[in-house]
């Protein structure tokens, strides 16, 4: 009656570890590493992964190695990985032209990464069931506080929360390592913000495969992260945009010009009064 991995999970992990690896040499053209060559490694895609999954993996790998993840670079590697994967017999679905993320997607993604960093308590680069459970508990407390109520989880609540977190991870864990890495976590959140109410119900049903208990866990998870993201954006977006449009040195200059203009106006006002 143990909680060991199912045959499907075991097979998925075995398949992942046995897939061939594609190596891509990349030369640094700028910065401190200029002239150095790095070898990026990408395993072949496996069902049900699509080109979108490939794009996120490649984007992350490029950033990690210090390369600029430009649209053309990502697309070239995606195309190579698709051809490489086809040799394994898996025909990758969704080979559609790439689209740049919208401003909304970028903002939601940034907020999602802030949440990930906060709850990756051991700084492992992954969120495990205990860390995800802690996040959901904090969300319940925050939601209760908004109603001027309090929420203190019982031992049973903690056990249920941990069980739910484990189920959520099993569903969203694309690489089968038993945790959610940053891209898996953020991708799920960004995608969920693009769902209509109908799509939300349908997608959660599909993810949970109709299991009512898991549907409940998934609904609470997506409601929770939407609350967190909304809170972050509501409180920080204006400040972030202000800094982006007015870097510190520009703001200092603008303030100096404003003070100078005020002095001139004040001086003219005094002259007028004297006259």
Handedness of CA 28, 32, 36, 37 (dihedral sign): negative
H helix runs in the chain, sequence order: 7-18, 51-64, 71-86, 103-119, 129-146, 155-172, 182-192, 197-208, 212-245, 248-274
- Domain end, chosen from 100, 128, 144, is at 100
pLDDT in tens, 206-223: 888 889 999 999 999 998
Give me the number of domains the chain comprises. 2
pLDDT in tens, 59-88: 888 888 888 777 778 888 988 999 999 998
Which three-class secondary structure state does DSSP give residue 236? Answer: helix
- 257 and 125, same domain (yes or no): yes
Kindly state whether residue 172 falls inside one of the protein's structural domains.
yes
Kindly state whether residue 120 falls inside one of the protein's structural domains.
yes
Kindly state whether residue 4 falls inside one of the protein's structural domains.
no
Return the pLDDT at 127: 93
Kindly state whether residue 6 falls inside one of the protein's structural domains.
no
In the predicted model, is pLDDT for residue 98 greater than 60? no
Kindly state whether residue 274 falls inside one of the protein's structural domains.
no
Return the pLDDT at 128: 94
Return the pLDDT at 137: 92
Return the pLDDT at 173: 82
- 228 and 147, same domain (yes or no): yes
In the predicted model, is pLDDT for residue 16 greater than 60? no
* Contact criterion met (CB below 8 Å) for 131 and 120: yes
Q: How far is CA 161 from the centre of its chain?
A: 22
Range of the domain at 68: 18-100
Return the pLDDT at 97: 47
Kindly state whether residue 3 falls inside one of the protein's structural domains.
no
- 93 and 111, same domain (yes or no): no
Report the CATH number that the domain containing residue 245 is assigned in CATH: 1.10.238.10
* Band of residue 270 on the pLDDT scale cut at 50, 70, 90: low
If one compares 2 and 172, the residue with the highest pLDDT of the two is 172
- 66 and 121, same domain (yes or no): no
pLDDT in tens, 84-95: 999 988 888 865
pLDDT in tens, 223-262: 888 888 888 887 775 656 565 555 555 545 555 566 666 6
Give the C-alpha separation, 32 to 19, whole Å.
34
Return the pLDDT at 216: 92
Return the pLDDT at 64: 86
- 90 and 153, same domain (yes or no): no
- 209 and 74, same domain (yes or no): no
- Domain end, chosen from 74, 100, 126, is at 100
Structure tokens at 147: 């109603």
pLDDT in tens, 111-158: 888 899 989 988 888 999 999 999 999 999 988 888 888 889 899 999
CB atoms within 10 A of CB 271: 9
If one compares 31 and 158, the residue with the highest pLDDT of the two is 158
- Domain end, chosen from 85, 100, 115, is at 100
Give the C-alpha separation, 54 to 46, whole Å.
10
- 29 and 133, same domain (yes or no): no
Return the pLDDT at 189: 87
């Amino acid at each position: 009656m143990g909680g060991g991995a199912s045959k499907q999970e075991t097979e998925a992990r075995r398949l992942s570890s046995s897939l061939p690896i594609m190596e891509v040499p990349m030369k640094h053209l700028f910065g401190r590493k200029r002239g150095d060559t790095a070898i990026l490694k990408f395993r072949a895609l496996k069902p049900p992964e699509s080109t979108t999954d490939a794009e996120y993996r490649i984007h992350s790998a490029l950033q990690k190695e210090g390369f600029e993840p430009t649209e053309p670079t990502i697309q070239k590697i995606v195309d190579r990985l698709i051809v490489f994967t086809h040799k394994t017999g898996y025909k990758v679905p969704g080979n559609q032209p790439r689209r740049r993320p919208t401003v909304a997607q970028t903002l939601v993604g940034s907020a999602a990464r802030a949440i990930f960093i906060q709850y990756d308590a051991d700084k492992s680069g992954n969120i495990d069931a205990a860390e995800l459970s802690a996040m959901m508990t904090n969300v319940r407390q925050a939601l209760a506080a908004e109603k001027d109520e309090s929420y203190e989880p019982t031992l049973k609540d903690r056990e249920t929360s941990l069980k739910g977190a484990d189920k959520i991870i099993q569903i969203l864990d694309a690489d089968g390592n038993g945790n959610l890495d940053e891209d898996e976590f953020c991708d799920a959140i960004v995608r969920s913000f693009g769902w209509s109410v109908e799509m939300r119900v349908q997608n959660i049903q599909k993810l949970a495969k109709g299991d009512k208990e898991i549907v409940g866990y998934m609904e609470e998870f997506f409601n929770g992260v939407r609350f967190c993201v909304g809170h972050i954006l509501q409180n920080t977006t204006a400040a972030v945009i202000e800094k982006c449009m007015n870097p510190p040195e520009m703001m200092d200059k603008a303030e100096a010009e404003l003070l100078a203009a005020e002095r001139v106006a004040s001086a003219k006002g005094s002259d007028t009064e004297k006259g």
